[in-house]
Amino acid sequence: MRRHLVLRVGGRASTRTLLRAFAVTAALAVLTVLAAVIALGLGEMRISAVDVVRALVSDAGTAIETVVVQWRLPRVLLGVVFGAALGLSGAVFQSLTRNPLGSPDVIGFDSGAYTGAVVSIIAVGSTALVIPSALAGGIATALAVYLLAYRRGVHGFRLIVVGIAVTALLGSVNTYLLLKARLWQAQMASVWGAGSLNGLDWSDARNGTLVVLALLVPLLWLGRRLRMLELGDDAAAAMGVAVEPVRLALVVVGVSLSAVVTALAGPIPFVALVAPQLARRITRAPGVQLVPAAVTGAFLLVTCDMVALNVPPQALPVGLMTIILGGAYLVWLLVAQSRKELR
- In the three-class reduction of DSSP (H, G, I as helix; E, B as strand; rest coil), residue 8 is classed as strand
The distance of closest approach from Cβ of residue 230 to other proteins in the complex, given in angstroms and rounded to an integer, is: 5
The closest alpha carbon to 107, from 236, 274, 273, 263, belongs to 273
The closest alpha carbon to 300, from 88, 67, 13, belongs to 88
Question: Contacting other proteins (CB under 8 A), which of 54, 98, 155, 158?
Answer: 98
Per-residue CA distances from 205 to 74, 178, 253 (Å): 5, 30, 20
DSSP state of 7: E
The distance of closest approach from Cβ of residue 52 to other proteins in the complex, given in angstroms and rounded to an integer, is: 37
Q: Which stretch binds other proteins (CB under 8 A): 8-16, 177-185, 318-326, 330-338?
A: 8-16
The distance of closest approach from Cβ of residue 88 to other proteins in the complex, given in angstroms and rounded to an integer, is: 17
The closest alpha carbon to 104, from 119, 123, 86, 80, belongs to 86
The distance of closest approach from Cβ of residue 83 to other proteins in the complex, given in angstroms and rounded to an integer, is: 24
Q: Quick one: 71 or 150, whose CB is closer to other proteins?
A: 150
The closest alpha carbon to 36, from 293, 292, 306, 264, belongs to 306
Q: Which stretch binds other proteins (CB under 8 A): 32-40, 103-111, 126-134, 238-246?
A: 238-246
The closest alpha carbon to 266, from 189, 186, 172, 180, belongs to 189
Q: Is 180 in the site for other proteins (CB under 8 A)?
A: no
User: How far apart are the C-alpha atoms of 81 and 31, rounded to whole Å?
Assistant: 15
Could you tell me which residues come within 8 angstroms of residue 101 by beta carbon, excluding any fewer than 6 positions away?
94, 160, 273
Q: Quick one: 17 or 174, whose CB is closer to other proteins?
A: 17
149, 164 Cβ separation under 8 angstroms: no
The distance of closest approach from Cβ of residue 260 to other proteins in the complex, given in angstroms and rounded to an integer, is: 23
Q: Is 172 in the site for other proteins (CB under 8 A)?
A: no
Question: Contacting other proteins (CB under 8 A), which of 263, 285, 316, 321?
Answer: 285
Q: Is 182 in the site for other proteins (CB under 8 A)?
A: no
Q: Quick one: 121 or 219, whose CB is closer to other proteins?
A: 219
Question: Contacting other proteins (CB under 8 A), which of 176, 184, 202, 221?
Answer: 221
C-alpha dihedral sign at 195, 197, 200, 202: positive
* Backbone dihedral region for residue 64 (phi beyond 0: left; psi -120 to 50: alpha; all else: beta): alpha
Q: Is 12 in the site for other proteins (CB under 8 A)?
A: yes
The distance of closest approach from Cβ of residue 333 to other proteins in the complex, given in angstroms and rounded to an integer, is: 14
Question: Contacting other proteins (CB under 8 A), which of 215, 228, 272, 321?
Answer: 228
Q: Using CB under 8 A as the criterion, what x/- string covers residues 112-151 for binding other proteins?
A: ----------------------------------------
The closest alpha carbon to 82, from 137, 43, 23, 32, belongs to 32
Q: Is 240 in the site for other proteins (CB under 8 A)?
A: yes
Question: Tell me, what amino acid is at 307?
Answer: V
Question: Contacting other proteins (CB under 8 A), which of 224, 310, 332, 334?
Answer: 224
User: How far apart are the C-alpha atoms of 254 and 284, rounded to whole Å?
Assistant: 23
The distance of closest approach from Cβ of residue 152 to other proteins in the complex, given in angstroms and rounded to an integer, is: 8
Rg of the chain taking only CA atoms, in angstroms: 21
Q: Quick one: 181 or 237, whose CB is closer to other proteins?
A: 237
Q: Which stretch binds other proteins (CB under 8 A): 112-120, 166-174, 277-285, 330-338?
A: 277-285
**Positions that interact with other proteins (CB under 8 A):** 1-2, 6, 8, 11-16, 98, 152, 220-221, 224, 227-228, 230-232, 234-235, 237-242, 280, 284-288
